[in-house]
């Protein structure tokens, strides 16, 4: 597994280096949530506000991930299930919000959209690089990587939407990107839930066989 260990066991996040990275990433995401939500409201951009919600979701996700590090498999997998469920709810919420505002929203401020999206993209690139070598861990660790990846993809999409809004003078590119981000949230939630469910099933099988097993410290 890249950068975490030299065997087939899933990295469980117990290394001091991973804990330090999580604290840094939590701080970056919390700050960017405030910045992007404020800018999104000022610019009238649903895509920016959707991306801000992703920052908030990531902040909470990373905090939960930090808390369950070193805990038994069932606690880590259950935390991942909760995070997968929250991502799904966020995706449904953003999608519903987008559909509702399609009929009442004016054209967003493309200049503000693009400027803030570039700032958010830079923040997410830093987070993604910090988390890159930990991307193949257990469901708890993997959920952190997927959220970070979603942020970077979302920022690129918002930047593209800002350009399209500027060229067309229409709010539709912003709305389409917000809907696409909602779909990305849902896709990631499915991946997290599937892996966490598999880990819980394997742990139950080990208990039935009388095997006590957990991922070793890194």
* CA distance linking residue 144 with residue 111, whole number of Å: 30
C-alpha 25 chain-centroid distance: 11
Residues of the chain with pLDDT under 50: 1-8, 212-218
Looking at residue 24, its pLDDT comes to 94
- Would you call 128 helix, strand, or coil by DSSP? helix
Looking at residue 104, its pLDDT comes to 56
Map 50-101 to HEC letters. HHHHHHHHHHHHHHHHHHHCCCCHHHHHHHHHHHHHHHHHHHHHHHHHHHHH
pTM for the predicted model, two decimal places: 0.62
Looking at residue 31, its pLDDT comes to 93
* CA distance linking residue 175 with residue 182, whole number of Å: 11
Looking at residue 64, its pLDDT comes to 82
Whose tokens are 């990295």? That residue is 11
Looking at residue 106, its pLDDT comes to 55
* CA distance linking residue 159 with residue 199, whole number of Å: 37
Helix (H) or strand (E) holding 192: helix 172-208
Looking at residue 5, its pLDDT comes to 36
Looking at residue 7, its pLDDT comes to 39
Instruction: Write down all domains in the chain, each with its CATH number in brackets.
Output: 16-208 (1.20.1510)
């Amino acid at each position: 597994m890249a950068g975490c260990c030299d065997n087939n066991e899933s990295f469980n996040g117990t290394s001091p280096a991973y804990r330090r990275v999580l604290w840094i990433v939590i701080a970056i995401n919390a700050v960017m949530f405030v910045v992007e939500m404020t800018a999104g409201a000022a610019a009238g951009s649903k895509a920016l506000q959707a991306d801000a919600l992703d920052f908030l979701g990531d902040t909470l996700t990373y905090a939960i991930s930090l808390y369950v590090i070193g805990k038994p498999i069932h606690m880590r997998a259950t935390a991942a299930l909760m995070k997968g469920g929250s991502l799904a709810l966020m995706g449904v919420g953003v999608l519903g919000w987008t559909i509702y505002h399609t009929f009442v929203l004016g054209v967003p401020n493309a200049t503000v959209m693009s400027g803030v999206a570039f700032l958010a993209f830079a923040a997410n690139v830093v987070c993604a690089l910090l988390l890159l070598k930990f991307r193949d861990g257990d469901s708890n660790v993997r959920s952190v990587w997927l959220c970070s990846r979603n942020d970077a993809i979302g920022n690129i999409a918002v930047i593209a939407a800002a350009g399209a809004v500027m060229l067309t003078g229409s709010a539709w590119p912003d709305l389409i990107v917000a809907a696409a981000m909602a779909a990305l949230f849902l896709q990631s939630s499915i991946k997290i839930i599937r892996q966490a469910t598999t880990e819980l099933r394997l742990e139950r099988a080990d208990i039935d066989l009388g095997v006590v097993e957990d991922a070793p410290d890194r």
